Structure 1
Amino acid sequence: MPLTDVQIRQAKPGDKPRKLSDSRGLYVEVRPTGGKFWRYRYKLDGKENVFALGEYPELSLADARAERDKARVLVKEGRHPAHVRQTERAKQLAENGNTFRQVALEWIASKEGVSDGYRAQLTRAFTRNLFPYIGRVPVRDVTAAMLLECLQRMERRGARYYAISMINWVSQMYRFAVRTLRADADPAAALYGAFVRPPVEHSTAMSAEEIGRFRAELSGYGGFRANVIALELLQLLFVRTVELRRGRWEHVDLDAAIWDIPPELMKKRRRHLVPLPARAVELLRELRAITGAGELMFPGLRHPGKPIDGSTLNRALERLGFKGFSCHDFRATASTHLYDSGLFRGEVIEMQLAHAEDNKTKAAYNHAQYLDERVGLMQWWQDYCIEAERKYRAG
């Protein structure tokens, strides 16, 4: 007769282990210590075997019968339940080792043809936005819902662009995981389109009057002097903000009035020469007295070994009353007025903007091309900005 829960609960231990039979090979072994353990007795290949199911009352009577039924199915298939359980445990341990964090770091390390900076960017993105929440989860168990929750955190702090990039990176990572047999599918694929990219805001060129106003306001700005110099240099040299921020003194020759930026510090990974007009040389000599003891032209105040943060100069620009502009707009401003002057050939302007590559291979790129014309261009642009300031002050 099948057991009842009351019978099992009231069963008293004896001097020796004893069995309380249920049905279909299921029984409870009552030990002298008082412990009660579920066992399933079965035959396979003519031999009797016993499979341990668990301990009562952690495993209830109903659950023990359900586990017994699962084991009976395996026996009918000619499989030992204990062997199947060992295989599943080994598989689970392997899955636990293949965490989201481990696989992500392997994917980042495996990427070929990318710079160390890009690899570091990926590592920071995953470490900040995903690892604290799903880093320890087996990569096969991560769901689209888990990823979405992480990405929504990013969106709430205003990093929607970054969240969109994150979807693409995670999708690449999962394709790597599938290829290395650690995942079956890409949960990030379901999230494409979950975040709408805001409309692109194109660069805005300052008018001549705004150029003059900017210079007038900058001369009276009470912020950190190195930041003031950085803003004026961005206007005069119209390099990309990141190129200015990462500038190093070893690449600047003030006597020759040239800034020779190496490929690893340029967006397009090509050496770029920046002729320095007189005012830029004057500013850089002043800056050297402030930061020249270090390697960086614009070190951060809190972390001198790293460049100033990318938002620092844009915030200073806003405080000057140019909220609608960004530092990148200095490039559009210079380009617009240089073209409008009609004095310089387009290829010379584009070369100085570090754009030139149309219909040319990188192997044929000559960083010193049109250098004499570019020297004249940079001096003309300095004079144009200074004259705009004079006219603005004159009213």
Structure 2
Amino acid sequence: MAKTKPLTNTEVKQAKGKEKVYKLSDGDGLQLRVKPNGNKSWLLDYYKPYTKKRTSIGLGGYPAISLADARKLKSKFRELLAKDIDPKEYKDDHERIQLEAVSNTFKHIATNWFEIKKTQVSENYGIDLWRSLENHLFPELGKLPISKVTAPKVIEVIKPLAAKGSLETVKRFCQRLNEIMTYSVNTGLIHANPLSGLRAAFQKPVKENMPTISPEELPELMKDLSYASIKLVTHLLIEWQLHTMVRPSEAAGAAWREINLENKVWEIPADQMKKKRGHNVPLTEQTIELLNRLKPISGHREHIFPGDRNPRTHLNEQTANMALKRMGYENRLVAHGLRALASTTLNQQGFDGDLIEAALAHVDKNEVRRAYNRADYLERRRVMMGWWSEYIELAKQGKVGVSNATLKIVG
């Protein structure tokens, strides 16, 4: 068989369109295809590995791909064939990987991760989490392919926060970034998490407990609260949180539909809780009285503590904090510290520590004990919560330290 004579640049350039499509061969499977309209393109004919089925792959159009370029591509693909790799499959995989790299940006992957994450946290926490990504990470990292997110780039983004001393914020970003990158690994988008050691690049925040007061200072707080120049709904919110021992966001977001007066229980749904686990709070005589005072104000609305500007929603979870600050408790007590005040008092009075942890909605890591506790603790917690409400009433009267011994009931 005569060997195919290689094409010349002149032959390729001067090839004209005919009535039908035709091909000019350069040898070793490389073909110049010429269409009737004069358009020219390169093809490589080859036999597929293993099946030996004849096929072809497009190498690009002329003159964008010159004769020399086409020959280089032919040599590259012939090398693949020598290794039993199908050039067309190789090209398609390479283009797919490139397309995924461009489309799988950090923001796109973070969005997919958040769809799962938000089912595991409370609604308010989820909103804050997403807002933090939008404000601090997406502007610099959002359009970056996930495969291009590296520790040095992320450190440059977070460094200004660390310089300002916002070390707790830096810590949270490191945690969230690692969760997003781990999600990327688990979904096959990257092979390893390049941010696994990110925390080590920044100074650790000094853990600070939420400011709170001692049980002995509770009478002073109740007296200050009674004279405080704050709105009635805010006043009742602080008392409600104190009695129920819930978190500020859970108290502010309380809804009338969650109140079960027949069983005297506040049934907080899972989506309102930090750990995404429903939480039942026994209602005492005092908390029911608070509800009675609120009924004329918000009983016709969805939320127990309606917002000032928009009563169709609820008070902001920071409302109680701002009120305590105006009352002179800045750096002494925050709304979250009311939980610590309750915990300290109940522990000092000898109540069962597991009961107190259950009242605070802290999740027991022991699953077997947790299941038992949830089934067994409600009635025992009802006794403890009743004692705590009575204790608060005594504090209002300035009698704590005199009659509280008669109230002591060990759970």
TM range (shorter): 0.5 to 0.7
Give 1:131's match in structure 2, choosing from 138, 147, 155.
138
What residue number does 1:378 align with? 388
What residue number does 1:214 align with? 221
Q: Secondary structure at the match of 1:293?
A: coil
What residue number does 2:174 align with? 167
Structure 1: 5+ residue runs without aligned partners? Answer: 1-23, 30-41, 56-63
Give 1:362's match in structure 2, choosing from 351, 371, 381.
371
Q: Could you report, residue by residue, the CA deviation over 1:318-345 in whole angstroms, capped at 9, with x for unpaired residues?
A: 2211112222222222233334346x55
Q: Secondary structure at the match of 1:126?
A: helix
Aligned residues: 345
Give the alignment of 1:16-27 within 5 angstroms: none
Question: Does 1:290 pair with 2:297?
Answer: yes
CA distance in 2, matches of 1:250, 1:222: 30
CA shift, 1:248, in A, is 1.4
Give the alignment of 1:216-231 within 5 angstroms: 216-231=223-238
TM-score, with length taken from structure 1: 0.68
Sort the Cα spacing of 1:73 and 1:253 in 2 relative to 1 into closer, same or farther, 3 A.
closer
Contact 2:268 2:280 in 1 (8 A): yes
Sort the Cα spacing of 1:88 and 1:311 in 2 relative to 1 into closer, same or farther, 3 A.
same
Contact 2:257 2:302 in 1 (8 A): yes
CA distance in 1, matches of 2:161, 2:69: 44
CA distance in 1, matches of 2:308, 2:161: 27
Sort the Cα spacing of 1:321 and 1:45 in 2 relative to 1 into closer, same or farther, 3 A.
same
Give 2:346's match in structure 1, choosing from 338, 341, 348.
338
CA distance in 1, matches of 2:186, 2:354: 46
CA distance in 1, matches of 2:273, 2:221: 27
Percent identity (aligned): 25
Sort the Cα spacing of 1:115 and 1:310 in 2 relative to 1 into closer, same or farther, 3 A.
closer
Q: Secondary structure at the match of 1:202?
A: coil
Give 1:326's match in structure 2, choosing from 334, 337, 340.
334
Give the alignment of 1:169-248 within 5 angstroms: 169-203=176-210, 205-207=212-214, 210-248=217-255
CA distance in 2, matches of 1:237, 1:101: 39
Q: Could you report, residue by residue, the CA deviation over 1:113-169 in whole angstroms, capped at 9, with x for unpaired residues?
A: 835747666544434433333322222223333323443455578754343233233
Give the alignment of 1:92-111 within 5 angstroms: 92-109=98-115
Q: Secondary structure at the match of 1:361?
A: helix
CA shift, 1:382, in A, is 2.3
Q: Which amino acid aligns with 2:28?
A: D
Structure 1 stretch displaced more, 220-229 or 258-267: 258-267
CA distance in 2, matches of 1:347, 1:174: 36
CA shift, 1:377, in A, is 0.7
Give 2:320's match in structure 1, choosing from 293, 309, 313.
313
CA distance in 2, matches of 1:46, 1:355: 71
CA distance in 2, matches of 1:158, 1:302: 34
Sort the Cα spacing of 1:177 and 1:48 in 2 relative to 1 into closer, same or farther, 3 A.
same
CA distance in 2, matches of 1:274, 1:189: 43
CA distance in 1, matches of 2:316, 2:68: 64
Contact 2:269 2:279 in 1 (8 A): yes
Q: Which amino acid aligns with 1:340?
A: Q
Sort the Cα spacing of 1:356 and 1:274 in 2 relative to 1 into closer, same or farther, 3 A.
farther
Provide the aligned C-alpha RMSD in A. 4.5
CA distance in 2, matches of 1:361, 1:274: 18
What residue number does 1:45 align with? 28
Contact 1:247 1:296 in 2 (8 A): yes
CA distance in 2, matches of 1:100, 1:209: 51
Q: Which amino acid aligns with 1:133?
A: E
CA distance in 2, matches of 1:180, 1:338: 46
Give the alignment of 1:63-102 within 5 angstroms: 74=73, 76-78=75-77, 91-102=97-108
Sort the Cα spacing of 1:139 and 1:71 in 2 relative to 1 into closer, same or farther, 3 A.
farther
Q: Secondary structure at the match of 1:183?
A: coil
CA distance in 2, matches of 1:96, 1:375: 56
Sort the Cα spacing of 1:261 and 1:197 in 2 relative to 1 into closer, same or farther, 3 A.
farther
Sort the Cα spacing of 1:193 and 1:315 in 2 relative to 1 into closer, same or farther, 3 A.
farther
Contact 2:121 2:274 in 1 (8 A): no
Q: Which amino acid aligns with 1:335?
A: S
Q: Which amino acid aligns with 1:378?
A: W
